[in-house]
Structure 1
Amino acid sequence: MNKPWPHQEDDPGRDSHDDARDPDPSRTSTEGGYPADEHTRLLPNRLDSTPYLSPDDPAVSPYNLWTVRLVRYTTVALACLTFVWWVLMLVSIFITPPGLHARGSPFFAFSYASIALLTLAVELLFFAVPSKSVRVLSIVTAALLLVDVIVMLAVERTRHEEAWAGVASVVWATLMAVWAVAADRTVQWGKTEEEERLTGRPETRRTLLEWTQVLLSSAALAVMAAVVVLMTCTLSLRAVDSRLAPPGERYWVEQNKYQIHLYCGGNKTTDAMGKKIGATVLFEGGEDPVERGLWQFAENAVGNGSIGRYCFADRPGMAWSDAAPSPLSASMASDALSEALSRAGEAGPWILASAGIGSVYSRVFSSRHGSDVHGILMIDPLHEDLLARVGAPGRGFMLWLQGVISPCGLDRILGALVRGRGSADRVWGRSSYQSGASIFAKLQESLVADSLTKRELVSSRAIQDRNTPVVVVSSGVQIRRDSEWEAKQRDLTHLTDNLEDWDVVAEAPHQVWETLEGRRVIEKRLKKLARL
């Protein structure tokens, strides 16, 4: 028999149903059959109420949902895959893996791979703290990257230069930005679902730690969005520059891996029977393309009757020529030039006119073409013993760093907007050194200058035809500044046993042809070689 309620003992005539009608909360019974008191009223009724958790309880987490966990695991897998691709793009800057050759430069593909990897890294670091600002910035980044995809695919030249690796990188970066938006939105949904289920309402407040995480993730994505804006502007400039037609033709070399731009001007050097009646001057540029300075000089020399015909080719990565796979030594570049000349139907005899570091390439070319070379004119040439300056690790690192930031194109964009620089300036003129392809070409020179190229140059000197006429025109400014440079200029006058002249133009800089006296001396010596 159940024990009677205490108040029922005091009032035997009270109906038990009066308890249900009694408005006094102190008389409300509990589950155990006892009336509620000042203790039991403070506890939730396990039958009539829901035991909600505190919003700060660790159990309140979007990770409770398998959908959110699946999104996180997928993001980790995508990050791992992107990291592998990023490593391949980094390696391709120094040594080109098979099938990953970019004919423009590998820096754009590397930048897009970096954007994709950073986007996923930010998403993973702040996965459990979704925010609207992160989603908005990711949408902006995805839209800009989609514009890059369209520009890259729509313009034939950019599509040719970036090849499949560059296109794949920008498409992947676009997809990862879209995935970041979807993942953040999924986490936000999961967070809201779990808060409603476990706390009774969605949580609107954030802790200081959460606000810090939102600030950091938003700042990181804002920086990335700004970088993508600059990359889009740079890519647009490249699309505009692609309309500038080269003066010559591009020829496929090295089993159709890339193209070399070759131009020839002047009079024919053959008679009606096809017999050679004169030599063709083959110009090789120095630190800058031939188009910047030497091209105009060659035109004037033809007009003055000093030479009859000339040709020049842009080295890989310079002006209108594609970038070559890495590594690229002087002999490899010389072989590419020989192949381009052959495809164009141009044959010797040649008079080789080179400037600065271009003399390295001309000397290798001369040693491989023997009797076809009727003369060598070197303008302030670089000696093989000084190649260590070109291949210095510090210089190589700075070139790599310039290349990595070159897709942002700050200097090129400012030059176009503020200084009025046009396509010619950016392709072969005073701004050409800022392009990713040009920086990459110089980095390739630096990487092998004191190893492969130096060995090839030493070997070429040993097999050089000793009867070939040689002329050296040196910069007086450079000689006065660097005593070692003077000693090496003197040594190059002994390249063969047939030194014609050694001229030191007193007030001329390294680019000797930039002074009137320098142009006069160079043209005079070229005319003499052409008459031999």
Structure 2
Amino acid sequence: MKSIWGGSREDRDDDGSARNSLQDERDSAPPSEHTRLLPNRVDSTAYLSPDDPAVSPYNLRSIRFTRYLTICFSLIAFVWWIVLLVSTFVTPPGFHIRGSGFFPFGYASLALANLLFTLLFFIVPAKAVRIASFVIASLLLVDAILIISVHQIRYEEGWVGMASVLWALVMSISTLATDRLVEWGKYEEEERLTGRAETRRSVGEWVAVLLSTISMIILAVVVFLMTCTLFLRALDAGLAAPGKMYWVDGDKYRLHVYCHGNDTDSKLPTVLIEGGEGSVEGGLWDFANNAVENGSISRYCFVDRPGFAWSDTAPSPLSAGMAVEAVDEALARAGEDGPWVLMSAGIGSIYSRILSSRHGQDIKGLLLIDPLHEESLNDIGASGRGFILWLRGIISPLGLSQIPGAVFKGRTKDDRIWGRSAYQTGKYIFAKLQENLVAETLSKRDVASSRAIQAQDVPLTLVSSGVKIREDSRWEEKQRDLTHLTHKLRHWDIVNDAPHQVWETQEGRDIIEKRLRQLVHG
């Protein structure tokens, strides 16, 4: 007999038996996440246990897609982080940052850490994490506004800095949205599969919530400190350079040139000052002004090396010879062509010697104040010293010394740009790191070449630190060797009680000014 449905009763019985046997096979098979989620359990009374592994927000395509998207973001962030890390040591084309480069690297590190924490604690959303993420996003928005709106910061950070802070901002918003989405997915799946949203957490989940919260709070503190440091930089941007800025090296960056005294029509040579471990403004500037007032010299100039005071940083690597070329170009653009008496201190003598060897008859005298010998470049280029400089640079955006100095010690703009706090800035640390990276190779080769071609008729005077000589017997040997740079050694003075910065004592200042007067006036 045929059924009105188009088949015989026997056929329908066979189909029913087949379906029943298939259902029996499904019921007897080991349960899995996929098979147990096939029935619609919204109206069912047979709910799963809240601890069942099938109860997971990963059941939702939107959650799985979000996780894959976070992984892709993490890979992009890692590549960007690697590029900025490499650019600290060798600048790729188009990635030159006229500031230190440590701020963009800090934002890249922040974005990468944020994404990694999101992946690590992806399945355990927490309200505290979302609050911390909101704080981070708000602070990063302030940072982005500061970098883009303050001309000097925007100039120093360039497109790399702006892209880095905006990337970190977008990733923080992504972390906030991801945590909220996972919480929603978790709620939906628990309602669907267990009948109610789960309020209790396992010990492992509480540990994950604690760790994720601590991680995000640490990131929030880091961003807060970076924001405070940016505010200091915005304040410092209002301090104008006393001299003029000139583009060098194919207009890649600018150097600060300052001259003071009589016009260049004077028959007396101009004193060209090169700073030592710090900028000229932080040491010899005041001495030079007094020398002009006393009539010992008629005019002086100085050029801040790349990364010092108002000068921009140069692309890496930067050897002493490359820095001298940039200084020479800045002087030429400023219309300063000598003749010169070169006065330098410490490591600045390396740069003065290279400049002297390249200018021949334009150099009317060399005054070296406790100069660094080329063999000491091995200490400057020590790997341990370089690693410490790099670590200092990495944490420099936090302003751990600058912020307390400004709040509690009254440090001013001058202090941070060229004064007693300048060594804490990212630009200064980056310049010293560049010095370290090539000291034993490119810079040592440059100074060795300069010694070979140095004009031997240039009058030479050395003023050495007696304290330094007593502390290190090798220092005296090296000072003595430097007296043979030319055949016209005029004087070698050892100031008994003077430190490495000889001009910090009255006796040292008097001797330096006396010897400088003799070289300038012939």
Runs of 4+ in 1 over 4 A off after TM superposition: 46-49
Distance 1:202 1:478, change over 3 A: same
CA distance in structure 1 between the partners assigned to 2:351 and 2:45 by the alignment: 84
The one of 62, 66, 85 equivalent to 2:61 is 66
1:354 partnered with 2:344: yes
Paired residue secondary structure (1:172): helix
CA distance in structure 1 between the partners assigned to 2:460 and 2:154 by the alignment: 43
The one of 336, 343, 362 equivalent to 2:333 is 343
Paired residue secondary structure (2:401): helix
- What letter corresponds to residue 404 of structure 2 in structure 1? L
Q: Which residue number in structure 2 is paired with residue 57 of structure 1?
A: 52
Paired residue secondary structure (2:88): helix
CA distance in structure 1 between the partners assigned to 2:208 and 2:187 by the alignment: 18
1:499 partnered with 2:489: yes
The one of 160, 178, 181 equivalent to 1:183 is 178
The one of 284, 293, 296 equivalent to 2:283 is 293
Q: Which residue number in structure 2 is paired with residue 469 of structure 1?
A: 459
Alignment of 1:204-215 (within 5 A): 204-215=199-210
Q: Which residue number in structure 2 is paired with residue 261 of structure 1?
A: 256
Alignment of 1:236-255 (within 5 A): 236-255=231-250
- Residue 162 of structure 1 deviates from its aligned partner by 0.5
Q: Which residue number in structure 2 is paired with residue 75 of structure 1?
A: 70
For the 8 Å contact 1:376–1:469, the answer to whether it is kept is yes
Paired residue secondary structure (1:382): coil
Q: Which residue number in structure 2 is paired with residue 107 of structure 1?
A: 102
For the 8 Å contact 1:301–1:523, the answer to whether it is kept is yes
CA distance in structure 2 between the partners assigned to 1:48 and 1:358 by the alignment: 83
- Structure 2 unpaired stretches of 5+: 1-40
1:119 partnered with 2:119: no
Q: Which residue number in structure 1 is paired with residue 375 of structure 2?
A: 385
CA distance in structure 1 between the partners assigned to 2:69 and 2:179 by the alignment: 13
Flag the structure with larger Rg. 1
CA distance in structure 1 between the partners assigned to 2:181 and 2:333 by the alignment: 58
- Residue 47 of structure 1 deviates from its aligned partner by 13
Distance 1:47 1:128, change over 3 A: closer
CA distance in structure 2 between the partners assigned to 1:411 and 1:290 by the alignment: 22
The one of 224, 233, 241 equivalent to 1:229 is 224
- What letter corresponds to residue 364 of structure 2 in structure 1? H
Alignment of 1:478-497 (within 5 A): 478-497=468-487
Paired residue secondary structure (2:221): helix
For the 8 Å contact 1:269–1:308, the answer to whether it is kept is no
Alignment of 1:400-411 (within 5 A): 400-411=390-401
Aligned length: 482
Q: Which residue number in structure 1 is paired with residue 164 of structure 2?
A: 169
Cα displacement string for residues 400-448 of structure 1 (whole angstroms, at most 9, x for unaligned residues):
1111110000110000011111100010000000000000111110111
Structure 1 vs Structure 2 CA RMSD: 1.1
Percent of aligned pairs sharing the same letter: 62
For the 8 Å contact 2:42–2:192, the answer to whether it is kept is no
CA distance in structure 1 between the partners assigned to 2:198 and 2:389 by the alignment: 51
CA distance in structure 1 between the partners assigned to 2:469 and 2:270 by the alignment: 30
The one of 510, 513, 520 equivalent to 2:510 is 520
CA distance in structure 1 between the partners assigned to 2:392 and 2:211 by the alignment: 27
- Structure 1 unpaired stretches of 5+: 1-45, 271-275
Q: Which residue number in structure 2 is paired with residue 455 of structure 1?
A: 445
- What letter corresponds to residue 269 of structure 1 in structure 2? T
Alignment of 1:24-35 (within 5 A): none
CA distance in structure 2 between the partners assigned to 1:469 and 1:54 by the alignment: 92
CA distance in structure 2 between the partners assigned to 1:157 and 1:360 by the alignment: 31
- What letter corresponds to residue 467 of structure 2 in structure 1? V
CA distance in structure 2 between the partners assigned to 1:290 and 1:432 by the alignment: 12
Cα displacement string for residues 454-506 of structure 1 (whole angstroms, at most 9, x for unaligned residues):
01100110000011111100000000101111000000000011111111011
1:428 partnered with 2:418: yes
Paired residue secondary structure (1:237): helix
CA distance in structure 2 between the partners assigned to 1:307 and 1:403 by the alignment: 39
Cα displacement string for residues 361-398 of structure 1 (whole angstroms, at most 9, x for unaligned residues):
01111111111111110000000011111111111111
TM-score normalized by the length of structure 1 = 0.90
Cα displacement string for residues 251-293 of structure 1 (whole angstroms, at most 9, x for unaligned residues):
11111111100100011131xxxxx622110000001110012
Alignment of 1:284-323 (within 5 A): 284-323=274-313
CA distance in structure 1 between the partners assigned to 2:291 and 2:502 by the alignment: 15
CA distance in structure 2 between the partners assigned to 1:240 and 1:326 by the alignment: 28
Q: Which residue number in structure 2 is paired with residue 417 of structure 1?
A: 407
- Residue 50 of structure 1 deviates from its aligned partner by 2.6
- What letter corresponds to residue 135 of structure 1 in structure 2? R
- What letter corresponds to residue 212 of structure 2 in structure 1? S
CA distance in structure 1 between the partners assigned to 2:258 and 2:264 by the alignment: 15
1:91 partnered with 2:81: no
Q: Which residue number in structure 2 is paired with residue 16 of structure 1?
A: none
1:216 partnered with 2:211: yes
Cα displacement string for residues 500-531 of structure 1 (whole angstroms, at most 9, x for unaligned residues):
11110111100000011111111111111111
TM-score normalized by the length of structure 2 = 0.91
CA distance in structure 1 between the partners assigned to 2:237 and 2:103 by the alignment: 16
- Residue 340 of structure 1 deviates from its aligned partner by 0.4
Q: Which residue number in structure 2 is paired with residue 37 of structure 1?
A: none
CA distance in structure 2 between the partners assigned to 1:48 and 1:478 by the alignment: 88
Q: Which residue number in structure 2 is paired with residue 29 of structure 1?
A: none
Distance 1:346 1:182, change over 3 A: same
1:446 partnered with 2:436: yes
